[in-house]
Chains A and B, each alone.
Chain A
Amino acid sequence: MQIELDDELERYRDGLRAHIAAHRPPIPRLPGTRSPRTADMAAFKRWCASLYAAGYLGYDWPQAWGGTGRPDPIKDFIVDRELADADVPRPVGAFNLVAQALLEFGSEEQRGYYLPRIRDFADMWCQLFSEPEAGSDLAALRTRAQLDGDAWVVDGQKVWTTHGHIADLGFLLARTEPEAGKHAGISAFIVDMRSPGLTVRPLREVTGASDFNEVFLDSVRIPAGNIIGARGQGWQVARTALAHERAGSLREDSVVDSSLRLVDQLSSRGCARRADPDAVRRLGELAARARATDLLGLRGVIRAADGAAGAVDAAVTKVVFSEINLALATLGVELQGADGIVAAADSRQDDGHWQEAFLWARGFTISAGSNEIMRNLIAENGLRLPREPRRAETEARR
C-alpha cells in the first residue's frame, strides 16, 4: 500500500522540506519531556506560526480566515511524516481543537480576534475538559459556571491538562445548567490562564517529567462574551472539535522505526539476549504487527482522501498503535537483561531510551479515549452491537 503523490502534492512536500530547512527552530530535543521549555517558548511559537503562514497548518480553514477551504488527508499525512522524519518540534497544545470549535460555533467577534492569533501562534492553548471525577465519562463533569452580571464565575477542578503550566489560554468545559440533562447542561468557554483564582499545579508523570497539570478554579471570572456557542451547547462544541482532532492527530513515534531499532539492538554485541531464539521470535511477531499498524494508518489516509473513511478506522488504528508501541518498548527494556533497569545517564546501551519509552507508552493506551472506550466505540458504532446502558436505564434496572 502506497500513497501516490501527484505533481501538486510533490511540490507541497518539497516546499515543506525547504521550509523545514530554512526555519528549523534552535530548540534542543529534550529526552523524556514533551512540553517546550519556557526558555524556548518564543522560538517554538515563531516556528509554529511559520507553519501556518506557509500553509502547512490551517490550510484547510475557510478562505475568509486564511485557508483554502479544502481539507486534504494526504496533505495532513505529508506534514505529519515530514515533521517526524526531520525531527523538528511538533506543534503542540489545543490550538487546533479550539480553532475547529471557533470556526464552527464562534461569534464573529471571537473569530475576528482569536483565529488570526491562532495563525500567529500568539498564544499557547490548553484543553480544560477532564476532571478527577469525569475521565472517560467526560459529560459527568462538575465544574460550575454561574452568570454574575457581565461575567461567568467558575468554580471547580480540572486535571490531565497537558501544557497547562505554559499555556496562555484554555478551552474550558463547565456546567452552566445544573437542572438540565447531563450533556445538555454543559457550555464551552475561553479562559485566560492568568486569571485571578486560577491555579496551575504541575503533575509529575510516571516518567518523572511534568507535561500535564491540575488546574484549580476558585471564583474565576470569565467575561460573558467568552462563551463559545450558546449556553448548553458545550458538549456539541467539544465533540465537533474532537472529531477534527482525531482525524488530524500528529504521529509522534513510528512503530516500524522502533521495531527496526530493536532489530539492530538484538544483533549488537552488548545485547543481553543476543541470539536468544525466544527474543528473536517475539521481535519478529512485534515487527510484523508494527508493519500492519503502519499499513492500517496508510489505509486510513487513503480512505479518508477518497471520502470513504470507515466510522471506526481511527479507533482501530489508535488501539493497534498504542498496544504495539507499548509491547515494543517492553521488549526493548527486556532485551537489555538486568541492565534494563539502568536508566538515562548511567545506561551504557541507549541513554535510557527504552526505559523512558516503556514508562511513557502506557499514556497512549489511556489518553485520547482509553482503549476500553475505543473498544466500546468499535463495537457500537462499527459493529452495531447494543450500546452501554445509560444512567436512566441502569436505575430502572435496579
Chain B
Amino acid sequence: MTMTAEERGDFRALFGDFLARQAGEDRLRRYLETPAPGFDQELWADVTKLGVVLAALPEDLGGGGAGVQDLAVAVEEAGRALHGAPLATTLTAARVLARYGFLDEHPQVLAALEAGAVATFPQDLGPGLAAADPADEVLAHLVPDPMPGAILVVPVRQAGDTALGIAICEGLRARTLSTMDLTRSFCDVTVPPGAWAGFVTDPGAVAELFHTAVALQAAESLGTATTAFRLTLDYAKQRHQFDRAIGGFQAIKHRLADMYIELQCAEVAAAAAAEALDSGIDVAASVHTAKSVTGRAAAWITSQAQQVHGGIGFTWEHVLHLYLRRAKVNELLLGSPAAHEVQLVAALSGNR
C-alpha cells in the first residue's frame, strides 16, 4: 500500500538520517581521491537491509507496495547525499518488472533483488531509441554499475514491437567509461543472444520504465540541487567582503532568490510527475514537465552555486563540483530537457 503523508515523512527522516550518518562528506571526499570507483558496496548492503528496495515490490510478492511518490522520497534523499549506488535504477526496474509480471515468472530474479542485487538499465533510454534485435548482439550504452549479479534491463525490438530484455550480469563483456560524474560509474555492456533470462513483451513496459526512471531522476536532481543551494546560502551568509556578508549584496541576494525560486518549481514539478505515475493520470505530460523543469533547474542552481562560492568553488578539493557534475549528468541522461520539451508539445497537442 502506498504510504500516507505522515508515513512518507517518517520514511524520509529515517532514510535521510541514515544517509547523513553513513554517506557524509568524508565518503564524498573519497570520490575526489579515487574518481569513478564504482559504488560503495558496503553502504549499498546497508541500504538494502533498511528495506528500501523491498518497499518497491508489491505486497503479494512480499514487498511494501510503495508508490512512486514514496520511492521518490528515498531517491531525493539519496540525491541530497550524492549517494553513489544505483538506487533509482534499482527501484525503477524492480517496480516495472513486478508490475508486468516478470518477477512472478522468474523467481530467481525476485530472489536476487531480495538478496540485495542492483538493477540497472542504459541511461540513453528514450522514446526515440532504436532498440536492437536480441537475436543479434545487443550493446547497452551508459549502464550504471553492471556489477556481477546485477539485473540488466534493456529495451529491445522483438517481432516489430518494443520489449524489455532482462539479463543477469555474469560473464558479460563490460567496458567502464570515463564520465563527468565522479560519484557513479557507467559502462557499455554487450549482451550476446544466448544471455537473456527473459523478456517483457507488453509494449507499455518500455514507456513505463522510461517514465518511472525520469520521475525518479527528477527527484534525485531535486535533492542534489537542494544541497547545493543550502551550501551556497550558508556560504553567502558567512563569507564577508567589503565588511559585509556577501549575501547582503543585491547581485548575490537576487541570485539566491532566483535559485530558491527554481528550487520551488523543481519541487512541485518532480512531485507532480511521481503523483501522475501513481494515479495514472496525465503521465507523459507530467514526466516531460518534470524533466524540463528539474533538469534545467538543478544544472542551473549547481552552476550558480559555483559562481557564488567564487574561487573556492572552482577547486577540486571543494565538494561542490561533485554536485555540479551529478546535476549536469542527470540533465543529459534519459533525454535532455530539450528532448522532453519537444515531446511535451506533442503530448499536449495529442490531448486536444
Interface residues of A (CB under 8 A from B): 1, 259-260, 263-264, 266-267, 277, 280-285, 287-289, 291-293, 295-296, 299, 316, 319-320, 372, 374-376, 378-380, 382-388
Contact = CB atoms under 8 A, between A and B. Distances in A.
Contact of A285 (B233, B257, B269, B341): B341
A385 B256 contact: yes
Contact of B293 (A259, A260, A289): A289
Given A267-B349, A295-B268, A382 B260 contact: yes
14 contacts: A263-B349, A277-B342, A284-B338, A284-B340, A288-B293, A292-B268, A320-B264, A375-B253, A379-B253, A379-B256, A380-B253, A385-B256, A386-B237, A386-B247
Interface stretch (B99-107, B202-210, B284-292): B284-292
Contacts, number: 124
B254 interface: yes
A296 B349 CA distance: 23
**What DSSP secondary structure best describes chain B's contact surface?**
helix
Contacts of A267: 349
A229 B258 CA distance: 38
Contacts of A319: 261
Contacts of A299: 268
Contact of B345 (A284, A320, A374, A385): A284
Contacts of B256: 379, 383, 385
A385 B253 contact: yes
A-B interface, 9 closest residue pairs, ranked by CB to CB distance from nearest: A284-B341, A386-B248, A288-B292, A295-B268, A375-B257, A378-B257, A288-B289, A385-B247, A379-B253
Contacts of B296: 285
A62 to B, nearest CB: 33
Given A288-B289, A320-B265, A281 B338 contact: yes
Interface of B: 233, 236-237, 244-245, 247-248, 250, 253-254, 256-258, 260-261, 264-265, 268-269, 271-272, 275, 285-286, 288-289, 292-293, 296, 337-338, 340-345, 348-349, 352
A387 B248 CA distance: 7
B254 A372 contact: yes
Contacts of A375: 253-254, 257-258
A151 to B, nearest CB: 43
Contact of A316 (B233, B261, B337): B261
B341 A281 contact: yes
Contact of B341 (A260, A288, A379, A383): A288
Given A283-B345, A379-B247, 9 more contacts: A259-B348, A263-B352, A284-B342, A288-B292, A288-B344, A289-B292, A379-B260, A382-B260, A383-B247
B244 A288 contact: no
A293 B233 CA distance: 24
Contacts of A287: 289, 341, 344-345, 348
Contacts of B344: 284, 287-288
Contacts of B272: 1, 291, 295
B345 A280 contact: yes
Contacts of B271: 1, 295
Contacts of A387: 248
Nearest to A286: B341
A289 B293 CA distance: 7
A263 B348 contact: yes
A284 B348 CA distance: 9
Contacts of B293: 288-289, 292
A385 B235 CA distance: 11
Nearest to B266: A292
Nearest to B268: A295
Contacts of A282: 341
Q: Which of A259, A372, A375 has the most CB of B within 10 A?
A: A375
B304 to A, nearest CB: 14
A291 B236 contact: no
Nearest to B288: A288
Contacts of A388: 250
A383 B292 contact: no
Q: Which of B260, B285, B286 has the most CB of A within 10 A?
A: B260
A386 B342 contact: no
A318 to B, nearest CB: 10
B301 to A, nearest CB: 14
B292 A296 contact: no
B197 to A, nearest CB: 37
B349 A284 contact: no
Contacts of B236: 385
Contacts of B338: 281, 284-285
A374 B258 CA distance: 11
Contacts of A380: 253
Contacts of A280: 341-342, 345
A379 B288 contact: no
A334 to B, nearest CB: 15
B264 A296 contact: yes
Q: Which of B244, B341, B343, B352 has the most CB of A within 10 A?
A: B341
Contacts of A263: 345, 348-349, 352
A117 B269 CA distance: 44
Nearest to A256: B348
B247 A281 contact: no
B106 to A, nearest CB: 37
Contacts of B269: 288, 291-292, 295
Given A288-B269, A291-B269, A385-B237, A266 B345 contact: yes
Nearest to A385: B247
Contacts of B292: 284-285, 288-289
A260 B265 contact: no
Contacts of A383: 233, 247, 256-257, 260
Q: Which of B257, B264, B271, B343 has the most CB of A within 10 A?
A: B257
Contacts of A320: 261, 264-265
A273 to B, nearest CB: 12
Given A260-B352, A378-B260, A385-B256, A284 B343 contact: yes
A173 B233 CA distance: 37
Contacts of A316: 260-261, 264
Given A285-B337, A292-B293, A316-B264, A386 B245 contact: yes
A264 B348 CA distance: 9
A380 to B, nearest CB: 8
Contacts of A277: 342
A379 B258 CA distance: 9
Contacts of B340: 284, 288
